C-alpha cells in the first residue's frame, strides 16, 4: 500500500541553524501539507501546496519557513534560522485531490529538537 515517508525521523539542531525536513508524498497525489505538533499541544496546520505554489499558510508560517517540491517526488520544509520554539513533531500529508471527503495521508513525522 502506498504511503507517505518522511526523513529524518529525528533531527537535532542548534538554535539559528537551518534545517530541511523531507517528505515523499504518495505518487499520484496533488495536494501537500505540513502540520506540526508541539509536545502536549494540538496538531497545527502550517502550509498547503499545490501546482508548485503555496495554496494557504497559517500565521505560524512566517518568513523563516519555506516549502519546495524540487524534483516532482520530494516535498521539503525548510526552516532558515531555527528557534527553540520550533521544537516539535512535523507531519507531512498528501491527498489525491482537493475534496473535503478525501482522506489526507500522513507520514510518520520528523521530531525536531532545537537546542
Partner 1 sequence: GNSVTQMEGPVTLSEEAFLTINCTYTATGYPSLFWYVQYPGEGLQLLLKATKADDKGSNKGFEATYRKETTSFHLEKGSVQVSDSAVYFCALSVPQGGSEKLVFGKGTKLTVNP
Which residues contact partner 1 (rule: CB under 8 A)?
3-4, 6, 31, 33, 35, 40-45, 48, 50, 55-56, 91, 93, 98-101, 103-109
Question: In terms of CB distance, is 5 or 13 closer to partner 1?
Answer: 5
Minimum CB distance to partner 1, residue 75 (Å): 14
Question: In terms of CB distance, is 28 or 101 closer to partner 1?
Answer: 101
Nearest to 96 by CA among 87, 105, 88: 105
Task: Identify the bridge partners of residue 68 per DSSP, sorted by sequence position.
Answer: 76
**CA–CA separation, 109 and 33 (whole Å):** 12
**CA–CA separation, 66 and 23 (whole Å):** 14
Minimum CB distance to partner 1, residue 96 (Å): 12
Amino acid at each position: 500500500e502506498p504511503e507517505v515517508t518522511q526523513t529524518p525521523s529525528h533531527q537535532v539542531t542548534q538554535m539559528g541553524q537551518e534545517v530541511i525536513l523531507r517528505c515523499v508524498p504518495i505518487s499520484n497525489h496533488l495536494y501537500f501539507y505540513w502540520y506540526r505538533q508541539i509536545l502536549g499541544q494540538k496538531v497545527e496546520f502550517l502550509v498547503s501546496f499545490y501546482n508548485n505554489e503555496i495554496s494557504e499558510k497559517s500565521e505560524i508560517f512566517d518568513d523563516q519557513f519555506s516549502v519546495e517540491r524540487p524534483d516532482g517526488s520530494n516535498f521539503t520544509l525548510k526552516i532558515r534560522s531555527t528557534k527553540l520554539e520550533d521544537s516539535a513533531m512535523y507531519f507531512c500529508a498528501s491527498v489525491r485531490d482537493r475534496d473535503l471527503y478525501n482522506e489526507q495521508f500522513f507520514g510518520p513525522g520528523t521530531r525536531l529538537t532545537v537546542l
